[in-house]
A and B are shown apart, each in its own frame.
Chain A
Amino acid sequence: MIRVRDLRVAYGDRVVAEVPELDVGRGECVAIVGESGSGKSTTLLALLGLTEGARVSGEVSVCGVDVMKARPRALRAVRGAKAALVIQSPQAALSPTTRLGVLMRRALRLHGVTGGPSLTGGAGSTGGPGTMGKGARGIDAVMAQACEAVLLDPAILRRYPHEISGGQAQRFAIAMAIALGAEVILADEPTSALDVTVQAEVVGVLRGLREERGLAVLLVSHDLALVSTIADRVLVMKDGVVVESGPARHVLRDPDHPYTRELLEALP
């Protein structure tokens, strides 16, 4: 689902991320680990072509779309509909004056999800003017189902971002990915702003999605405890460079690089 070769992101003369190889397949979970400033979030954003003002080179393909060469329109169709981003500080990531349901509905309309027979039917506009009434009801159903899939009460859709908790916001972001029928979830520190118990909920939801719906998950985190519970493979980044990569079991149990050892020792 994700294929990256020789990715290099630079602001001016400063290279902030260099990733020689990164692949995430269907149903797979890959984690990028590193401290803040290591270039892991930049890598994630580069996958969606969201690194504004940066010089990006290499090969990036997400869900079969060449992110580097795609036209803006094709790129926007990938964003959200195929690859969904879940970001760190959940409340700040939601527009303060937009009700959650309004945001979700706009996103669904944007990507032409009308709630036809196939719930995971992604892009491609099927809702003509004649099916509007049915479409609207269909969208409501899709939205409610998506909320239930992440254990949220659909009533939350009538709330504003400041009226919900961090864990709810994070699960809502995942619900959007489900409703949009995303095949890839890019999660940037999805749990670091949450309480321990809430963290477990979010991780549970992510793991469930991966197993039941075969979603590919690319996780960016500095939390090795979280990574060890969910990731199949791990990339360790330091100062913009990948210092170690391999199966999670191997990397976390028997690291080659001193930096990885340092990270592991820092665990409580």
Chain B
Amino acid sequence: MIGYLTRRLGQALLVVAGVVTLTFVIMRLVPGDPAVAYAGPKATPEQLAAASRQFGLDQPLHVQLWNYVRDLVTGDWGTSLRTRQPVREDLFTAFPASLELVGAALILAIVVGIPVGVLAARHKARLPDLGVRLGSMLAVSVPVFWLALTLQTVFASHLGWFPVAGEYDASLDTTSPLTLWTNITIVDALITGNWPIFTSTLDHLVLPALVVAAYPAGVIAQMTRAALIEESGQEHVRLERALGFGETTILTRFALRPALNPVLSLIALVFAYSLVNGFLVEAVFNWPGLGRYAFNAITSADTPGIAGVTLLVAVVYVLVNLVVDLLQGVIDPRVRTR
């Protein structure tokens, strides 16, 4: 287990190093001069040179890469050209909101996807299975931004069941201000007992979370179904049948746990995908997360901002994969001894 752990950690570090380099390269590809973007179009040559020196742009490339890495490690993720704030602080406020959205969506997707996958496997090649397969195919084929717009127009604008946009009712900030602990609004509201903000956030969360959940729910259902069908071909299932267990019991109590292993690594992949897919949903619902930050950065050619978001998401992705690999050892005892 220890050997496995260190090998896995080393791999992750290598990937992160590559990610940093790649991000750096992409940033250097930007056609405009960051110094110009920072100092403004009317800056004098002296001001330009000063900005250039400030960003270290007068150094050779490998020195710049080295400086970039050193700054990243020491926590200096650069200064946003748009907000003129340290990127790290910007991300620090934006990331929790995205996490809140994606977390809610994934919980929804798991709660729906796994039972639905079990249902399909239980009635394999019969009508419920066909329904689940069609439904999950539609869920993974729907363009998120369109689904977001549609749900927003139907359920918020026309029917008025849910708020149109935002994370919670901004007027609550004055009537019942929120104490921040984790920066995740709904969690903070819950632990500080701030019910007005909690219910308002929940209300605002429903539609965007539903949209973000569509894709993961679809793939989780498909994967659960496939894994369960494969698992129920295993020999142990014959013994369980011979012991008199019903089909549903066999699927949920005996086959589901070994089958969950591939589903779990899938959830990790889907988490990162949903985080970025959520960017589009954030744009539609004006959710104050990474997506909105990224878009503002994009429209104002804020390279450090874009680089920061890219880097953060890639690192999160690597971390999630790492955690899942370790978790698999907990779910399937055979992995531990490997």
Direct contact of A and B (CB under 8 A): yes
Q: Is the CB of A111 within 8 A of B239?
A: no
Q: Is the CB of A50 within 8 A of B241?
A: yes
B234 within 8 A of A: yes
A257 within 8 A of B: no
Output the nearest chain B residue to A94 by Cβ-Cβ distance: B236
CB within 8 Å: A-B pair count = 80
Q: Is the CB of B238 within 8 A of A95?
A: no
Rounded to whole angstroms, the CA-CA distance of A80 and B245 in the bound complex is 9
Please, which residues of chain B bring their CB within 8 A of the CB of A186? 242
Take A98-B254, A106-B253, A160-B333 as given contacts and tell me if A93 and B246 are in contact as well, using a CB distance cutoff of 8 Å. Answer: no
Output the nearest chain A residue to B235 by Cβ-Cβ distance: A92
Q: Is the CB of A98 within 8 A of B257?
A: yes
Rounded to whole angstroms, the CA-CA distance of A190 and B284 in the bound complex is 63
A89 within 8 A of B: yes
Q: How many residues of chain A get a CB closer than 8 Å to chain B's CBs? A: 32
Output the nearest chain A residue to B237 by Cβ-Cβ distance: A95
Choice from B235, B249, B255, B337 contacting A93 with Cβ under 8 Å = B235
Q: Is the CB of B243 within 8 A of A176?
A: yes
Rounded to whole angstroms, the CA-CA distance of A151 and B236 in the bound complex is 23
Please, which residues of chain B bring their CB within 8 A of the CB of A227? none
Chain B residues touching A, majority SS? helix
Please, which residues of chain A bring their CB within 8 A of the CB of B258? 95-97
Rounded to whole angstroms, the CA-CA distance of A81 and B241 in the bound complex is 12
Please, which residues of chain A bring their CB within 8 A of the CB of B255? 95
Interface positions, chain A 77-124, Cβ under 8 Å from B, are 77-81, 84-85, 87, 89, 92-98, 103, 106-107, 110-111
- A54: shortest Cβ distance to chain B, in Å? 14
Q: Is the CB of B239 within 8 A of A173?
A: yes
B126 within 8 A of A: no
Q: Is the CB of A50 within 8 A of B242?
A: yes
Choice from B244, B246, B337 contacting A81 with Cβ under 8 Å = B244
Besides A87-B238, A93-B238, A110-B244, 16 other CB < 8 A contacts? A48-B241, A48-B242, A50-B241, A77-B244, A79-B241, A79-B244, A92-B236, A93-B235, A94-B236, A97-B332, A98-B254, A106-B253, A110-B243, A160-B333, A162-B337, A173-B239
Task: Identify 11 residue pairs between A and B in the complex whose beta-carbon atoms are under 8 Å apart, listed by A's number.
Answer: A72-B246, A85-B238, A92-B236, A93-B238, A94-B239, A95-B254, A95-B255, A96-B332, A96-B333, A96-B334, A107-B244
Point out residues on A near B: beta carbons under 8 Å.
45, 48, 50, 72, 76-81, 84-85, 87, 89, 92-98, 103, 106-107, 110-111, 160, 162, 173, 176, 180, 186
Point out residues on B near A: beta carbons under 8 Å.
234-236, 238-246, 249, 253-255, 257-258, 331-334, 337
